Structure 1
Amino acid sequence: MQRRGVKRTLLPLALLAGLGLSACTTGAAAGGGDAPADGELSLAGKTIGVAVVSTQTFWDREAFQGAVDEVERLGGVVVPTDGNRDNTLHAENHDIFLSQQVDAVITILGDDSVEPKLEAISEAGIPVFGVDRASEHVVNNAQSNSTEAGEAIASIMGEQLGGEGKVAVFNAFSETLTFCGERYNSWKDKMTADYPDVELLTPELAEEFANAPEDARQQTLTLLERYPEGELDAIHVACWDQPAIGVVQALEEAGRTEVKVTAIDAGPDTLEIMMEPDSPFVGNVAQQPREIGKVSADNVAKHLAGEDVEAESFVETYPVDGAAGAEEVYAKLGYDKQ
């Protein structure tokens, strides 16, 4: 098993030079996958822009690659951009799609700085599809059910705590990213309703986006000074799980592994941490980001073929409860074969 702190790239990426500002094309014209059979969806002759805020984390890479691979499999050509974990750059990258007059755009993550770009693209007659990017300007948003994920992780945390204890929360993005807000609000509502003896500590913590694990590690060390042993029972990362890597590191450094950690996303890196002996990381919710990207590309093909597409598409998630649950989901999602 690969240990934490060792970053692995599971899949080759069609990335851009110059921090994502230079456009390139991949796809059927450049040696893409097998063309679809007669009667299947097709993007033959279509050029699709695929913009992702980052390819530095597993979720982001997988969602991006899932969209790229499916566009290529359906015979389309991809114009990819990578925001390099910079939301402003991610937004600016969408100008490439307007200048090249692509046939459709898949936009992956990002904050509201991208909204004016999506509006301009839509007004130019280019349909936009979101991956975890809710917007009035998208035809469809492919995603996990964030409300269900929040409720699932609340149940895991509540049971892991035996229904009582004090919980600190990392919650940087619930007011700026729709899916983060849904995860946080559903988690908090269920914790409050079903586990009234669990105290949610205030003020909440806010992790940085660009360097989340290290920032969360440092904030956790400070938090542990404020709450000595016996005064803090758990830490929850409300929106994603990359900060949880740093939280676990801080707990181990401080000898405070009695404090339990929960989060949402559960890629192979964080599942591996959960599987380590006596890991404080006890709860997570696994998504299928590659499948979400694929669904988005399929929705593009349906729309361009004149089919009706629902406003939202949901891909199944898997609650992860403890080390045994991590092992089960790790195998179920095929990470043990990579």
Structure 2
Amino acid sequence: MKKLAFGVLSLALAGSLLAGCGKTETASGGQNQASSGGNGQAAAAPSLAGKKIALVTQLNIGTFSAQYIDGVKEQTEKLGGKLTVFNSENDLAKMSSNLDAAVNQKFDGILIDHGTAEALEAGVKKALDKKIPVVAFDATLTVPGVTSLEQGDQKMAELTLDQLAKDAGGKGNIVKIWVAGFAPMERRQIAYKAFQDKNKDMKEIAAFGAATNNTALDTQAQMEAILKKYPNKGDITAVWAAWDEFAKGATRAIQQAGRTEIKVYGIDMSDEDLQMIQDPKSPWVASAAVDPKDIGRIQVRYLYQKLHGDQTPDTVVLDPVFVSRDSLPKDKQVSTDQLAQYVKGWGGSQQGYTDWLKQMETAKK
């Protein structure tokens, strides 16, 4: 996810920047009439300056979500836009209301982070009827005209599960932390089912998971209960966490219980996650992810392509990478901004970039 990934994912952006650099606004109060879109010609790119962009999120929990929003903010500002974030606090009814507000306040473009078709479809169709383009990330939307981004969730799950099986020698007892109802989670579950079918000696002895406003803390409490149920070394071989908020909670529970023979394999990556993985005393040893800032940047690029009148694909799949402790330096802590030095394919994605977008960025400097 905001993710959750998930994800997935709880900060609302506020504040303003000097004119010409764009600004970020919180989703409170009305908006003025938005400026008109581009006319579809490359020479019209400067007319896209000052666009008002809405980001409607299902939930903003953890550092992954914060870095994703940073990516959205950064790319919007590079293009001279003004961003407003609507945080729905994991309330789908509120998310639907926030989407309606973004449409009624006449934003020039709308970005969606997670959510379901039931909550969003009517609002999205209303936006498109009013000629407001929409680009979604990890939402279960199939509305014609909407470009949807996803992380290659099955691939991320495969990368982590294959490493788990390899490290365990193909046998052992595992705990799965996963939750239904989110598009990326459902895709990750497909890979997990295939993993179970292929690895008959890897036994699932417990499964749990819930997306809450305190997901990591709640997961920690649930994992503590699992550890008490299976108190002996060897009872649990590994934990597979389908979201980094799950991985953080499980890792803390295992560390506090002194059960670091249990290894944790996660999905998604943030600076906080990376710090935990680099810790040699941490049970969290690997994760698969797409740079959350890149997700935000790419989503904005496709929205501006739509504003420019360009044709955009229905679906954009982002390529994940596998990050293990073994691939990271042991003598210093690194951030996700530095991760590309150690993990090939991390960050700096050129997906969604066009020549005119790059020229527009240059013109704003």
TM-score (norm 2): 0.75
Quote the Cα distance in structure 2 between the aligned partners of 1:335 and 1:53: 29
Match of 1:234 in 2: 238
Match of 2:200 in 1: 196
Match of 1:3 in 2: none
1:271 touches 1:326 (CA, 8 Å); kept in 2?
A: no
Quote the Cα distance in structure 1 between the aligned partners of 2:149 and 2:138: 6
Does the residue aligned with 1:224 lie in a helix, a strand or coil? helix
Number of residue-to-residue matches in the alignment: 309
| Among 143, 153, 161, the residue aligned to 2:150 | 143
Quote the Cα distance in structure 1 between the aligned partners of 2:141 and 2:46: 25
Match of 2:139 in 1: 133
Match of 2:190 in 1: 185
2:176 touches 2:239 (CA, 8 Å); kept in 1?
A: yes
Does the residue aligned with 1:75 lie in a helix, a strand or coil? coil
Cα drift, residue 295 of structure 1: 1.2
Tell me, which stretches of 5 or more residues in structure 2 are unaligned? 1-10, 17-25, 36-41, 342-365
2:270 touches 2:336 (CA, 8 Å); kept in 1?
A: no
Gap change, CA 1:185 and 1:272, over 3 Å in 2 = same
Does the residue aligned with 2:165 lie in a helix, a strand or coil? helix
Equivalent runs, 1:254-273 vs 2, <5 Å: 254-273=257-276
Say what the alpha-carbon RMSD is for the aligned residues: 3.1
Match of 1:114 in 2: 120
Cα drift, residue 320 of structure 1: 1.8
Quote the Cα distance in structure 2 between the aligned partners of 1:147 and 1:75: 35
Does the residue aligned with 1:263 lie in a helix, a strand or coil? strand
Gap change, CA 1:247 and 1:117, over 3 Å in 2 = same
Segments ≥4 residues shifted beyond 6 Å:
37-42
Cα drift, residue 114 of structure 1: 3.3
Cα drift, residue 208 of structure 1: 3.5
Does the residue aligned with 1:201 lie in a helix, a strand or coil? strand
Match of 2:20 in 1: none
Question: Does residue 74 of structure 2 align to residue 69 of structure 1?
Answer: yes
Quote the Cα distance in structure 2 between the aligned partners of 1:171 and 1:177: 10
Question: Does residue 164 of structure 2 align to residue 162 of structure 1?
Answer: no
1:168 touches 1:200 (CA, 8 Å); kept in 2?
A: yes
Question: Does residue 101 of structure 2 align to residue 92 of structure 1?
Answer: no
Match of 1:290 in 2: 293
Cα drift, residue 267 of structure 1: 1.2
Cα drift, residue 304 of structure 1: 2.1
Match of 1:32 in 2: none
Q: CA deviation digits over 1:187-212, x for unaligned, max 9?
A: 3313432x33211235x212242111
Does the residue aligned with 1:257 lie in a helix, a strand or coil? coil
Quote the Cα distance in structure 2 between the aligned partners of 1:182 and 1:121: 27
Gap change, CA 1:264 and 1:172, over 3 Å in 2 = same
Q: CA deviation digits over 1:6-48, x for unaligned, max 9?
A: xxxxx993379xxx6515779xx9xxxxxxx978687325322
Quote the Cα distance in structure 2 between the aligned partners of 1:254 and 1:190: 28
Match of 1:316 in 2: 319
2:124 touches 2:134 (CA, 8 Å); kept in 1?
A: yes
Q: CA deviation digits over 1:97-153, x for unaligned, max 9?
A: 121122221111234533433233234432211022230236111231111111111
Cα drift, residue 53 of structure 1: 2.9
Quote the Cα distance in structure 1 between the aligned partners of 2:83 and 2:310: 21
TM-score (norm 1): 0.80
Does the residue aligned with 1:122 lie in a helix, a strand or coil? helix
Report sequence identity in percent. Answer: 23
Tell me, which stretches of 5 or more residues in structure 1 are unaligned? 1-10, 30-36
Match of 1:302 in 2: 305
Gap change, CA 1:98 and 1:107, over 3 Å in 2 = same
Quote the Cα distance in structure 1 between the aligned partners of 2:100 and 2:262: 46
